[in-house]
Structure 1
């Protein structure tokens, strides 16, 4: 009697196929975010994404059932990448006072918005025309992002490093500065040294916290 394949064991070759599918899906999501950054939700079409990914539109439907599903996954991928970068910066900085940690996170966020992932600014940093179905998911994405800064700010308040009458207002002002930084500090708009401008922006943002 031949042995049955054990429950939960992958069929030979299935892992390789899965990896190939995951790579292609990630490529589609990356292209979708580029298109979203260029033309927004209303200007984006699956035809554009398929063409730039060099696949047939019919093939695209093997990965995403609709434009909204693709956009939702693209926005979530952006959120996850931003959170990953912020966590990596926290780990690199290590155990430091809250003010130093907050300065590092603000600096990293500016880098993300202006150099490493400017599509984040296009998607999240100013109002754009989004269907109602995206309102709650995007609120949750913003909440998770805000929580990174809020946690450090709360530690600074508890340790006496920060004097903040209303943390919610202060964080809204901080995010406003970061959103504007994506315009002020983008490479094509500046003539001064990028590190110096970032440092000045970080210093200005920290003044919000006393």
Structure 2
């Protein structure tokens, strides 16, 4: 008969380390989420590690066990938001892999509107064209915006090449798309009547699709 795993056994040690690792990742996620919320409301200059620690309900020295500096935490927050959004958009593309380019673009628009309204409302604020961010983070935000833009651009370009979409200037059309959805997410989030919000969302998506389906005269 094999010995029962004791507290000092390799199995018990591995299990304990696994729990510690999960606990550490949860705490790290809580800190990043606190930073995201503060960046959205206060901006880079207005976010302090004291405020992050208070919002995450931890002591400031504990915070330094996870992030050595404010800039390290901000970098993690920006990457977490970008990864979250891109993961959702990629899932939409995977789910619509056999659909038309027209349908895939509308599905992306719908998901982007949902993300900004419900799941990641901070994105519109944090990734807007503000000038008060340090150069290192401003360059990172530009890179992340390009990664996000590429998801839509690839679908639009493929649709234009296939003759399914009609768009004379993809850059201008995408600016219209992102700018409209960013502002519309705020507009829709303040609607108290869910039926009105749903009708308005449908009308908005129909209007945006027309940007990609007819050339200017």
Larger Cα-atom Rg:
2
Q: TM-score, normalised by structure 2?
A: 0.85
Instruction: Tell me the distance in 1 between the aligned counterparts of 2:64 and 2:71.
Output: 12
* Corresponding residue of 1:129: 132
Quote how far apart the aligned CAs of 1:77 are: 0.3
- Indicate if the aligned counterparts of 2:117 and 2:188 stay in contact, CA closer than 8 A: yes
Question: Which one scores higher on RCO, CA 8 angstroms, separation ≥ 6?
Answer: 1
Structure 1, unaligned runs of 5 or more: 1-9
Asked if the contact 1:126–1:179 (Cα under 8 Å) also holds between the matched residues in 2, the reply is no
The yes-or-no answer on 1:108 pairing with 2:111 is yes
Q: C-alpha offsets along residues 20-52 of structure 1, whole Å, 9 cap, x if unaligned?
A: 211110111011111112211111110111011
Looking at structure 2, the residues matched to 154 and 189 of structure 1 have their Cα atoms a distance apart, in angstroms, of 37
CA distance in 1 between counterparts of 2:191 and 2:14 reads: 51
The answer for the alignment partner of 1:149 in structure 2 is 152
Preserved contact between residue 162 and residue 209 of structure 1 (Cα < 8 Å): yes
Matched position secondary structure for 1:95: coil
Deviation at 1:197, TM superposition (A): 1.3
Q: Contact 1:79 / 1:141 at 8 angstroms: preserved in 2?
A: yes
Task: Check conservation: 1:150, 1:171, Cα contact below 8 A.
Answer: yes
Matched, 1:21 2:24: yes
Residue 169 of structure 1 deviates from its aligned partner by: 2.0
- CA offset at residue 12 of structure 1? 6.2
Q: How many residues align?
A: 201
1: distance between equivalents of 2:24 and 2:172?
Answer: 44
Partner of 2:35: 32
* Alignment-derived partner of residue 69 in structure 1: 72
C-alpha spacing 1:118/1:128, structure 2 compared with 1 (3 Å): farther
Residue in 2 that maps onto 1:198: 201
CA contact (8 A) 1:183 1:189 kept: no
Cα RMSD (Å): 2.0
Instruction: Measure, in 1, the Cα distance between the counterparts of 2:48 and 2:187.
Output: 30
1:186 matched to 2:175: no
Q: TM-score if structure 1 supplies the norm length?
A: 0.88
Q: Secondary structure at the match of 1:55?
A: coil
